[in-house]
Structure 1
Amino acid sequence: MITQWQDFLTTQAAPSSSDSAANRLFDLTHFGLLAVRGADAATFLQGQLTNDIRAVTATQSQLSGCCTQKGRLLARVRVLQISDTFYLQLPAERLLALCKHLKNYVLRSKVTLEDASAELLRIGLAGADTATLLADCGLQLPDAVNALTSNGEVHVIRLAGALPRVEILGDFPAISALWERLDAAQVRFVTADEWRLLDIQAGIPHIYDQTAEAFVPQMINLQLLDGISFRKGCYTGQEVVARMQHIGTLKRQMYRAEVVTDTPPQPADEVFCAASTSQQASGRVVDAAPIETGRYAVLAVVEISAVESGEPVRLGENGAVLTLEMTELNGA
């Protein structure tokens, strides 16, 4: 189905940049889907993810994390349930690594894990008219962030952001027909970088190959995004995550920032501050996306004491200064 979808997109107008206030349409196949099926699927995921899988229903998705035994994040996923299948969505580059990791814990559980990226196409819609555009197509904007509505084989998840924003999942006939209707309504097809920018502006982090095992969940504010349950019981890495929450002191956390530079920031790029008390970099870039030429929005995990010192935080030891936002990032 992915090849069929890519062939379809070649018949459409090429993606472009747009006015950030315009209604925009996105191809989201740069995300992958891992399907978890079987009689023990829910129990299995409850023992592997940071969030409480019991809260996932036909009308509610959730953010969650998958950790190593040392509490380091291998992936930050969105979990949704369609019929009897749980889907874990994450950047496609991390899907095989996550699948391999989880298979180590299946043992005798009645669970199957497989790449389901070709089962459901994913597109995004963002803009002030999102609710009206969905209604004109027979779809409903969910009432709350992470909530999910369905109409037949098409599923709509509301996402965080200043403007209404949704992800839509479905099979090729349904999604291609929906795409054509939205295109006819003058919704512009734009680049994946613009979706990445919307996630950054909403404080939604992703884990990439470069940043796998670089962070514990609280460093990327997963607890503020309702991505951790501290009451669910044991899961892989839980002891480290719980200790950080109840006993330890969080020394690094994620901030939103902007930077002006000729070199595009990349995930895992080091940041430095002269006030740092550590013997290593003061932090790392989580994600970055262009706002305009030479200007980038960034999510970065930075040493809290360094930020509070007021000293400049730089991209690289002698690089451009990051302008940090001090507002709490909670995915609102």
Structure 2
Amino acid sequence: MDWQNRFAPLSLSTTDALPELALSHLTSWGAINMIGDDKKSYLSGQVTCDVVSLKESDSTLGAHCDAKGKVWSVFRLFHHNGGYAMFQPKSAIAVELAEIKKYAIFSKVDISESEDVALGVIGSKATLFVDQLSDSTEDVRQITGGTAIKIDEQRWLLLVNAENAAQLVDNFEGKLIDESLWTRLDIEAGLPVLTAHQQNEHIPQALNVQALDGISFTKGCYTGQETVARAKYRGMNKRAMFIVSGQSNNNPEANAELERAVGDNWRGAGKLLTSYQFSDNKTIGLVVLPNNLENETQLRLKDAPDSLWKIEPLPYSLEDE
């Protein structure tokens, strides 16, 4: 597929504007598809979000946990090809697929890894571009070959079959870029990116899923619910996901460890979920840290002690309503 080789890195400094229209091949992202008569009831009993009330015009974040409330997957859920799609980092899918299918034998449901291609439309003209693909004005739209899903005011996800992905790329009139800018925008939006590195380590609230409307505290039972509820009503959660930034000669690998200053000493703080480096060497990332840290707490990369980092403001509140 020659179209897959047409996406180039886009180098941006902290002062450069975003392109007005760009298309990214999200190679490290994929989806799990769920179809069948019992898809709604089965999925509702597995995940934190409100599946039953999800309209075909909307998407929602959600998490899938083990019985102890530790997260296997954080995903974006939406209606897709007559069923549901759970969009998430591709590296998490192998384990998540096995876990989400554990009890499917008792239900009329078919669960599989999607073969669709994930494309990201980015920029101030992203919605204008998607408007040309469908007559709908909703946030989730059926398009030729798949589904278009609004992420925010300057981003849309297209989950489509390979044939239509090739056509979209061939006819695209904006920039064709790699997925790094999509990662940057996820970080700046404070959207959790849970890869295989940190599966089954955190409860949903440590990944801010509740602050992004990905947990329903009024729906029926689901796996891990007891822990999730205790974390909310008994204040048992002691961690949260933060945006951090620092100067770095190289973009740190996922799971790179950050340390925090404690007096004159340094102690382990958390591991990067993902990161993005600007061309002027400023680097931003997402990391789960103790939720009682002061905003002024000094951080550093354990493997690069001279690389000092700090906590940045989130674009949403972590306070319970």
Same fold judged by TM-score > 0.5?
yes
Give the corresponding residue for 1:313. 299
Identity %: 23
Matching residue's letter, 2:311: L
Give the corresponding residue for 1:155. 147
Provide Cα deviations, 1:127-163, integer angstroms capped at 9, x if missing partner.
111232333x3436856xxx30224444211113xx5
Give the corresponding residue for 1:139. 134
For residues 293 and 214 of structure 1, the distance between their equivalents in structure 2, rounded to whole angstroms, comes to 33
Give the corresponding residue for 1:3. none
Say whether the 8 Å CA contact 1:256–1:325 is kept in structure 2.
Answer: yes
Give the corresponding residue for 1:269. 256
Which of 290, 293, 312 is residue 303 of structure 1 equivalent to? 290
Unpaired runs of at least 5, structure 1 = 1-5
3-state secondary structure, aligned to 1:227: coil
**Post-superposition offset of 1:312:** 1.0
CA RMSD of aligned residues (A): 2.4
Say whether the 8 Å CA contact 2:193–2:273 is kept in structure 1.
Answer: yes
Say whether the 8 Å CA contact 1:131–1:140 is kept in structure 2.
Answer: no
Give the corresponding residue for 1:15. 8
**Post-superposition offset of 1:271:** 2.1
Which of 198, 206, 210 is residue 211 of structure 1 equivalent to? 198
Say whether the 8 Å CA contact 1:33–1:87 is kept in structure 2.
Answer: yes
For residues 4 and 291 of structure 2, the distance between their equivalents in structure 1, rounded to whole angstroms, comes to 44
Q: Superposed, which structure 2 residues align to 1:231-246 within 5 Å? A: 231-246=218-233
Which of 71, 74, 77 is residue 76 of structure 1 equivalent to? 74
> Do residues 122 (structure 1) and 114 (structure 2) align?
no
3-state secondary structure, aligned to 2:228: helix
Give the corresponding residue for 1:179. 169
**Post-superposition offset of 1:41:** 1.2
**Post-superposition offset of 1:234:** 1.2
**Post-superposition offset of 1:83:** 4.3
Which of 263, 275, 289 is residue 288 of structure 1 equivalent to? 275
For residues 24 and 207 of structure 1, the distance between their equivalents in structure 2, rounded to whole angstroms, comes to 25
Provide Cα deviations, 1:279-299, integer angstroms capped at 9, x if missing partner.
972222222122225321111
Give the corresponding residue for 2:155. 165
Q: Assess, with a 3 A threshold, how the Cα gap between structure 1 residues 110 and 176 changes in structure 2: closer, same or farther.
A: same
Q: TM-score, normalised on structure 2?
A: 0.88
Unpaired runs of at least 5, structure 2 = none
Say whether the 8 Å CA contact 1:142–1:156 is kept in structure 2.
Answer: no
3-state secondary structure, aligned to 2:211: coil
> Do residues 248 (structure 1) and 240 (structure 2) align?
no
Relative to its length, the structure with more strand (as a share) is 2
**Post-superposition offset of 1:263:** 4.2
**Post-superposition offset of 1:96:** 1.4
For residues 137 and 258 of structure 2, the distance between their equivalents in structure 1, rounded to whole angstroms, comes to 38
For residues 181 and 83 of structure 1, the distance between their equivalents in structure 2, rounded to whole angstroms, comes to 23
3-state secondary structure, aligned to 2:119: strand
Matching residue's letter, 2:23: L
Q: Assess, with a 3 A threshold, how the Cα gap between structure 1 residues 299 and 141 changes in structure 2: closer, same or farther.
A: farther
**Post-superposition offset of 1:81:** 1.4
For residues 304 and 253 of structure 1, the distance between their equivalents in structure 2, rounded to whole angstroms, comes to 5
Matching residue's letter, 1:211: Q
For residues 303 and 69 of structure 1, the distance between their equivalents in structure 2, rounded to whole angstroms, comes to 23
Q: Which runs of 4+ in 1 moved over 6 A?
A: none
Q: Assess, with a 3 A threshold, how the Cα gap between structure 1 residues 330 and 124 changes in structure 2: closer, same or farther.
A: farther
For residues 263 and 172 of structure 1, the distance between their equivalents in structure 2, rounded to whole angstroms, comes to 33
